[in-house]
Structure formats: structure tokens, C-alpha cells
Chain A
Amino acid sequence: MENVVEFTNVTKKFKDFSVKNIDLQVKQGFATGFIGANGAGKSTTIKMMMNLLRPDVGEIKLFGLDYMKHEKAIKERIGFVYDGNVYFEGLNLKDIKRIVAPAYKQWDDTLFYQYVEKFKLPLNKAMKTFSKGMQMKASLAIALSHHAELIIMDEPTAGLDPIFRRELLDLLQELMIDGNRTIFFSTHITTDLDRIADYIAFIQSGELVFNQSIHDVAENYALVKGGLDLLDRDTEKAFIHVHRASTGFEALTDNIKAVKNIFGDSVAIDHASLEDIMYYLKGGIHHV
């Protein structure tokens, strides 16, 4: 399996924040969801992927190529969608296309107009009159019209209404039918991922906690519920984090086997949702 994006030991420090030792691989032909709380380092990572930021340490390769030597070749193959509108807001879509299209060797006008029609986008209205959802659709239409192999999206679903969010996810799913295309998108809405992501990369406080297939995540993590009397210093070691309430405890584990060995049938083991995992991992991995 080939990696479209490869981060090797990447570190970027800011005054009050840093992303540290990121080793991230994005596999070709799959959709990877990039999750993490606000301020966890998602946008920084995506900016480094786009070469808007350069890492202090480490190596970043896209399509096996280095930005130092192959910046244009790499960007030809990427379609990007950002959280906010980056297009000139006073211009209409037609003029924006006039500016963006000649930048790409593989720009496909027919395809662009197909998307414009599909998304019902007005060509002659200024971008600033577009709703958030329309701006997203316009960015997407531009990102998809040059046969990009890798689509990078920073929070594409943020601020969208539920109906359009589903439409967008369906559309991304459709795009994935073409087996060569890779999608990497960040989100903090975990339910987006269940629908389309094949892989989940989870970042927290600037560190990559895991990057696994959605299947593995489901298999590796579980939510355990039981009576408080079961907990003691030894048994707690099987958990990543324990939440105590008067009615009993709820805990996250990444070692289901150990939990089964220790507690047997005295606890209930449930599937842990991504949100559960994010919630319990908050504050770093530490065994209580």
C-alpha cells in the first residue's frame, strides 16, 4: 500500500504551542479523517501538508516527493478546501475560475461547469454574498476540477447545516469510488467519520495519538461499565481513563483482553465511539 502523504518525525514550535514528533501516513485510495479538539494541531498539520508552514524538524513528503524540489508538481495533484473562504470575496465565481484555472495544467472546464450545475452555484454573484454552505460548495467545485489525486480539507463540515453536511459526505463517498483518489480531512465532528472515513488519525495537544483503520479503532478501544467496588489500584491499570459516578464507573480501555481477564462477566463492555475516545483521552494518555 502506498502512502500519499508521509510525515517523518515532524516538529513545529510556536510561542505557546507546538506539534511534536508527528509520524503520519495517509494511504492512497482511502479517506482519512483527522480528528482532534479545537487547538489540538489539526490546522497546523494541514498547513504543513500544504507547505504554508515549514516544519522546524522532520521530513514531509507528498506522493513521495519533497516540497523543496517539487513544489509545483505536488500542488498540481492536490485539491484544497479550507475552513474559511480564501477566494477573493468581491469576485464572482466566473472570475475566480479565470484566476485559478490557468494555474493548473490539468484544469477541466467541462468538469467545473458540471459541478457548478450540480451544486446550483451562481456564476455571476460575488463570493461574499454566498452562504457558508455555498462557499464550501464553490471551494469544492474548484478543488475537484483539476483531477486532483489528493483532496485536503480543513474542517469542511464546520458551520454547515446537517442536511448539507450529509450531502457533502455523500459526495465525498462518491468521489472515493474512483480508487486512486485520496481524501484527507480534518473535523471535530466525529459522526462525519463513521460515514466515510477508512482511517482515523487522532491528534491531541500537538501529538498524534493514533492513526489506524476505523475497524482497528473499533476493535482496540472499548467502553467498560461496572460497579465501583470492582475498582482498585491494580484493576484500574487496564484503563486509560476512569470516570466515577455514584452509580458506578465508566472507563475507556485500549486493552480489551486484559479487561476480560480481570473482570470477566462482572462488567459490561461496549463499543467506544470516536467521541468517547476523544473525551476520555483528553488530558493525555495516562493510566490512572
Chain B
Amino acid sequence: MFNLIRRDVILQKRQLLLFIPFIVFFIIMEANPALIFLVASLIIPFNTYVYDEKVETNILLNSLPYTRTEIIASRYLGAIIYMVLAIGVTSLTLFAFNKPFTMTDIAISCSLFLLFAAFTFPLFYIFKPGYIFPIIMISFLLLAGIGPTIMLFLAEHLTPITDFIFNLSVPALYTGATLGIMIVYVISWGITNIIYQRKAF
């Protein structure tokens, strides 16, 4: 199954040459470090779907000695592995450019990346090829655009919940968030797995 994860690099080796210039561009644009980490994490896992949404790729992968469970597992585990690698490379680049960043930046981008992956990965197996990229782009922009406003609105109007969150100790808050995100990710994995098992090629 590790081969399936490694496959992404072989497929994208040319695009990967653009990886560092891309990060540098964001750094020069003075983007928030959390956003840079997030965008860097997104590149490989989502680029893979340019290939994987094609029927031919699914026919190939399913004709090779892999099970469908392994193919989906490689998506979800691969996303985490590439996220870690992307954060490593981005940290080094930021460091080289003498840009400060905090562990909180990394934690925020990791959480957002995992949540975004958890919500979008199943969609890749539900929608027909060709439709999915516009949907993902629009949902990403929507989330980035109006997401914070919604959160602020909710924070103001659902005061009991806000109070509850603010009353938590910092370790409890972090543990809770980590657990929550892990649960969402695992549920998404399970759903995608069920969808993929039923697919016909």
C-alpha cells in the first residue's frame, strides 16, 4: 500500500518542482503563515485527484493486486503523510526567509486541512469526473470567504457554547479539538470506503 502513496510523487514530480516557488510566492505576498501551511498541505493530495477521478486510473488500480480498501486507505494515510512533509518543507522555507511562525499556525493549518480533506474526499467518489473540481474550488472559496463570518456570528449568538469553550483549559481545548478532528477524519474515511466498495468501473 505504501507504493500507492509513493505513486503520487511519481505522478506529480514535474508539478513538485513548482512547490517551493509557490510557497516563496506566498511568503513574498506576506500571507499568513497558517494559510501558507494550509495551501502547501493541499497541493499533493488534491492534485492526485486530477488523476484519480479518471475512470482509467480506477480501472488500472483495481486491476492491480490492490483491494479497494487499500486504495482508499492510501488516500487518507497519504494525505496525512504529505501534509507532514509539506509542513516540514514549508517550515524550512519560512525559516530560510527569516519569517516567524508559531506552532499555533501549524496546528490551525493541520486542523483546517484535515477537516477540508474529510469533507471533500468523499465528494470525489460521489460526483462524476469533471464536476468535482469546480465544486471543490467553490466550496474552498466559500469556506474561506464566509466561513469566518459564520463562525463569528455563531460565537456571538450561541453564547452558552462559546462560554463553554472559553471556560475550557487550554490543554482540554487542544485535546478536544484534536480528538474531534480525528473522529471526523475517520468517519469520512469510513464513508468513502463504503462508497468506493460499491463503485463499478
Q: Which residues of A contact B (CB under 8 A)?
A: 47, 50-54, 71-73, 75-76, 78, 80, 82, 84-88, 91, 95, 98-100, 102-105
Contacts and interface: CB of A to CB of B under 8 A. Distances in A.
B201 A53 contact: yes
Given A82-B59, A86-B59, 8 more contacts: A52-B63, A52-B200, A53-B200, A71-B67, A99-B3, A102-B3, A103-B64, A104-B64
A204 B57 CA distance: 29
A14 to B, nearest CB: 9
A72 B66 contact: yes
For chain B, which range describes its interface: under 10, 10 to 19, 20 to 34, or 35 or more residues? 10 to 19
A99 B56 contact: no
Contacts of B13: 95
B60 interface: yes
Contacts of B65: 71-73, 75-76, 103-105
23 contacts: A47-B200, A50-B62, A51-B62, A52-B62, A52-B63, A54-B200, A71-B65, A75-B64, A75-B65, A78-B63, A82-B59, A82-B63, A86-B56, A86-B57, A86-B63, A88-B11, A91-B10, A95-B10, A99-B3, A99-B10, A100-B64, A102-B6, A103-B64
A52 B3 contact: no
B51 interface: yes
A91 B11 contact: yes
Given A85-B56, A88-B57, A99-B3, A50 B63 contact: yes
B7 interface: yes
Contact of A103 (B3, B200, B201): B3
A80 B66 CA distance: 14
A47 B10 CA distance: 27
B51 A52 contact: no
A98 B10 contact: yes
Interface string B33-62: 000000000000000000100001101101
Nearest to A77: B65
Contacts of A88: 11, 51, 57
B8 to A, nearest CB: 10
Nearest to A79: B63
Interface string B1-31: 0010011001101000000000000000000
B60 A86 contact: yes
Interface string B181-198: 000000000000000000
A126 B10 CA distance: 13
Contacts of A85: 56
Q: Which 4 A-B pairs have the closest CB atoms?
A: A75-B65, A102-B3, A103-B64, A86-B60
Nearest to A105: B65
A86 B63 CA distance: 10
Contacts of B64: 75, 100, 103-104
B9 to A, nearest CB: 10
A52 B11 contact: no
Nearest to B68: A71
A44 to B, nearest CB: 10
B157 to A, nearest CB: 48
A53 B66 CA distance: 15
A45 B197 CA distance: 19
Given A88-B51, A95-B10, A99-B7, A52 B201 contact: yes
Contacts of B62: 50-52
B3 A47 contact: no
A51 to B, nearest CB: 7
A80 B56 CA distance: 13
A102 B10 CA distance: 13
B63 to A, nearest CB: 5
Contacts of A103: 3, 64-66
Contacts of A104: 64-65
Nearest to B201: A52
B11 A80 contact: no
Contacts of B56: 84-87
A53 B67 CA distance: 13
Contacts of B6: 102
Contacts of A78: 63
A70 to B, nearest CB: 10
Nearest to A12: B200
B7 A52 contact: no
Contacts of B7: 99
A78 B62 CA distance: 12
A95 B51 CA distance: 15
Nearest to B11: A88
Contacts of A98: 10
